[in-house]
Structure 1
Amino acid sequence: MSLDFHSFPANNLIVFDFETTGLSPDMGDRAIEIGAVLIENGKITDRFQQIMNPGIRIPLFIENLTGITNAMVKSARDNASVMTEFYEFIAGHNLVAHNASFDERFLRAEFRRIKKYYSSGIACSLLAARRIFQNAPNHQLATLAQYKNLPSDGTYHRALADAEVTAHLWLSLLDELREQHELNEPTFGFMHKLTKTPKHQLRKLYTQK
């Protein structure tokens, strides 16, 4: 019997983030770092972080943006071994990422290379924030961290640091739903539906619960 991952509580999942050589795996770009945190019952209980060697050169712009250099990845494990380990880490969990369409493309592309397939759900904290924190100046991760005074050491564009801030953002979104809309235990399915719901239809969604 297959599991209904959408019925799982939204405060039990894995938040993940990639750093990459560019914007598109379809154009040959590869992941160079993966970071993730496990949330259980609203608390961060485990972490995963690895730099990986993609076998291609990292552009100077990406080196400057992330601080991940060609010298650093040269001594790292290859993508296949790291992604195999990450596949085991996320097994049985729904996922969240900020601007999830970007990270999902790389996740699925890297998994295809090792003949793995991820079947649970992936939700986007950026889309959720656009609907729940409508008064934020914008919905970039750093802006939302400041807007909601989320725990952060000020590091961005590193996978684990971004995943941790995104995890705190996700929990803040759930808190907002509880406090403002009396949604005590939002499911992952509800949150995923919320990210796809136009803003003018949110009131109806909240009343349906």
Structure 2
Amino acid sequence: MPSPYADTIIVLDFETTGLSPDQGDRAIEIGAVKIDNGVVTDTFQELMNPGRRVNSFIEQYTGISNVMLSTARPCAEVMQRFAEFIGDDNLLAHNASFDKKFLDAEFQRINHNYQGQFACTLLTSRRIYQDAPNHKLGTLVDYKGLAEDGGYHRALFDAKMTAKLYLTMLEDIQQRSGMHRIEFGFLQKIANTSKRQVERLFS
């Protein structure tokens, strides 16, 4: 069973051949960070071979070349290992609807179902950081003054920065709500509440 608390979670990020698995796009890299009781305890990163070439835009955007993918393990093999990594934990991503689509599609190919539910730092940030310039990951990292060392659009770096942002968000939610420990359900409630109504959750 997933933890009822928001501070035990798997933060994940995919790099992909395109925007939609429904159009035949595949994952080419997975990066993830395991958070237990508010502490990062493990990471997972692996390239995966989708069985076809990626276009030059994706190569330039991610820095992941066809040469790199040619020696990577097949998607199915990587996703089997990733299924073991996430166990029954809840899941989190920045713009989670995107990553969930690819996780669902790749897991469907190996006939695997996961227990956890998704949370989204993008949706949550729109509610609790309404004065941020925008809600892109890099903008929010700068907005909160979080240190960064690496480059975006690689899966593990993006997952690490999302995890940093998320832990900061949990601290801010704790301070505003007066709660000692945030439950996962409360986090989902924030994301599903309109911007105008969200302040009532903290009163």
**Structure 1 counterpart SS, 2:40:** strand
Q: 1:128 aligned to 124, 129, 132, which one?
A: 124
Q: Give 1:58-207 correspondences, 5 Å limit.
A: 58-207=54-203
- Deviating beyond 6 angstroms after TM superposition, the runs of 4 or more aligned structure 1 residues are none
Q: TM-score with structure 2 length normalisation?
A: 0.97
- Which deviations, in whole Å up to 9, do the C-alpha atoms of 1:139-188 show, x marking residues without a partner? 00000111111131141000000000000111111111122221221111
Q: Deviation of residue 92 (structure 1)?
A: 1.4
CA drift of 1:201 comes to 1.6
Give distance in 1, aligned partners of 2:115 and 2:192: 19
CA RMSD of aligned residues (A): 1.1
Query: What are the superposed Cα offsets for residues 4-48 of structure 1, whole Å, 9 maximum, x if unpaired?
Result: x4x611111110000000000000000000000001121111000
Residue number in structure 2 paired with 1:43: 39
TM-score by length of 1: 0.94
Q: CA deviation at 1:78?
A: 0.2
| C-alpha displacement of 1:205 | 2.2
Determine helix, strand or coil for the equivalent of 1:138.
Answer: coil
Query: Is there any run of 5+ residues in structure 2 with no aligned partner, and where?
Result: none
SS state at 1:199 partner: coil
Query: 2:112 is aligned with what amino acid?
Result: K
Q: Quick one: which amino acid aligns to residue 154 of structure 2?
A: R
- The percent identity for this pair of structures is 54
Residue number among 38, 49, 53 corresponding to 2:49 in the alignment? 53
Q: Residue 196 of structure 2: SS of its match in structure 1?
A: helix
- Secondary structure of the structure 2 residue equivalent to 1:136: coil
How many equivalent residue pairs? 203
Checking the alignment, whether the CA contact within 8 Å between 2:122 and 2:135 is kept in structure 1 is yes
In 1, Cα distance between the equivalents of 2:102 and 2:147? Answer: 27
Deviation at 1:117, TM superposition (A): 1.1
Q: Which residue of structure 1 aligns with residue 15 of structure 2?
A: 19
Q: Deviations over 1:36-80 (max 9, x none)?
A: 000112111100000010001111100000000000000010000
More displaced, 149-158 or 70-79?
149-158
Q: Distance in 2 between matches of 1:184 and 1:62?
A: 43
